[in-house]
Amino acid sequence: MYSNLKARIRQGRRTIKFPPAFSTLPNRFRGLPQIDSNKCPADCRACVEACPTDAIHVDLFDQKRQLQIDLGKCLFCVECQRACPEESLRFTNDYRLAARNRADLIFSDQGIRLADALSKEIRRVFSRSLKLRQVSAGGCNGCEVDINVLGTTVYDIGRFGIQIVASPRHADALVVTGPVSENMRIALLKTYEAAPPPKLVIAVGACAVSGGPFRDHAETHNGVDGLLPVDLYIPGCPPHPLSVLDGLLRMIGRIK
């Protein structure tokens, strides 16, 4: 008992302030990419070629040759940044990445449109108590472990009224990870059916948003889209716990 108390005092209070939480991120953390197409040399396609998931395109947008990134496909690796001769594309330290529409994750120089809150009616139900049921459908345990840490004393999602529950019957939202393997498709659909309406679907990670590194495999489904209606997309491979937390709080209107 004594050593337990001593340990408890020694370990201290670990919970971080949120939001904002930029100070807790290392300088090499790769968050929201920033694009400056003006810096692109003519005819350069280095980043397009380097990207392992074909997340980057060069095209004429608004009569101007621009880079366009699909954050839903992005693995936040370093290939494009390493290939770029001019720093046209660089990852910032910004962990805020979540969007309500898939199309909002595709952006150019103008930057991302972050998730806005659910309708007032839905928000009334969920904004102070949101119960999540996680389903891994081909997830590599990367997204899963970094969702799990939201329950630790460091992130403590309980203080926001968010809780991960054991049964879909108790859930307000499904948090889906993985590209949705064919072998998990039926289990995922059944889990969705088992949750009582109104219910939300949150796609976490490049796999769940777009298929990630397994896009276009015959054994997977390129993510949740097309199988279930998705209410929130959180990109990343895996998303930092702060990105997930930020997305959830935006959706229920706790961050604007």
The answer to whether residue 195 forms part of the interface with other proteins (CB under 8 A) is no
Min dist. Cβ of residue 203 to other proteins (A): 15
Decide the pairing of beta strands 173-177 and 232-234: unpaired
How near is the Cβ of 184 to other proteins at its closest, in Å? 5
Question: What's the number of CA atoms in the CB half-sphere (13 Å) around residue 112?
Answer: 26
Binding of other proteins at residue 99 (CB under 8 A)?
A: no
141 is an interface residue for other proteins by CB under 8 A: yes
Cα distances (Å, whole numbers) of residue 226 to 40, 58, 162, 208:
35, 27, 27, 11
Q: How far is CA 68 from the centre of its chain?
A: 19
The one segment of 107-115, 131-139, 223-231, 248-256 that binds other proteins by CB under 8 A:
131-139
**Within 13 A of 90's CA, how many CA atoms are on the CB side?**
10
Q: Looking at 138, 223, 235, 247, which residue binds other proteins (CB under 8 A)?
A: 138
Half-sphere exposure of 121 (CA within 13 A, CB side): 2
Cα first-last separation, the chain: 44
Q: Which is nearer to other proteins, 110 or 141 (CB)?
A: 141
Determine the Cα–Cα distance for residues 111 and 230; give it in Å rounded to an integer.
Answer: 22
Comparing CB distances to other proteins, the nearer of 215 and 250 is 215
Query: At its nearest, how many Å lie between other proteins and the CB of residue 137?
Result: 7
- 20 Cβ contact list (under 8 Å, min separation 6): none
Tokens of 155: 């992130």
Shorter beta-carbon distance to other proteins: residue 129 or 153: 153
Total number of residues that touch other proteins (CB under 8 A):
64
- Look at the chain and count its residues: 256
191 binds other proteins (CB under 8 A): yes
Q: Is 235 in the site for other proteins (CB under 8 A)?
A: no
Residues contributing to the site for other proteins (CB under 8 A): 3-4, 6-8, 10-11, 14, 25-26, 28-30, 52-53, 75-78, 82, 134-149, 151-154, 164, 166-168, 178-179, 181-184, 186-187, 191, 207, 212-214, 217-220, 237-238, 240
